[in-house]
Amino acid sequence: PPIANDSVYGLGAAVFTTNLEKAHRVAAEIEAGMVWVNSTQDCDPRVPFGGVKQSGVGRELGEAGLDAYSQIKAVHVNMGNKL
């Protein structure tokens, strides 16, 4: 989809077709963070929401969204010696 990808933005796109195989093929080629097939803007809080290109400011929702707001820290405790 050269025309669909001819943008500096890539938040979301929609594909409308009765051919599900073609829908998956086109969705794989579209440079967007989300692609809907035969619908628009359906949302599931378990699925990350976000874009690519100039729309790529991270992800919200889902595990990927939670990771964006998390800072992992390792804490090591030696339980074998007395202080």
- Per-residue pLDDT, 31: 87
Task: Give yes or no for residue 60 having a pLDDT over 70.
Answer: no
Instruction: Please write the tens of the pLDDT for every residue from 10-53.
Output: 778 899 999 999 999 999 998 888 888 998 877 776 776 676 67
For residue 50, count CB atoms less than 10 angstroms from its CB and return exposed for 0-12, middle for 13-18, buried for 19 or more. Answer: buried
- Whole-number Å distance between alpha carbons of 50 and 10: 9
- pTM exceeds 0.75 for this model: no
Q: Each residue of 10-38: b (16+ CB within 10 Å) or e? A: bbbbbbeeeeeeebeebbeebbbbbbbbe
Return the closest-CA partner of residue 54 out of 9, 4, 1, 7.
9
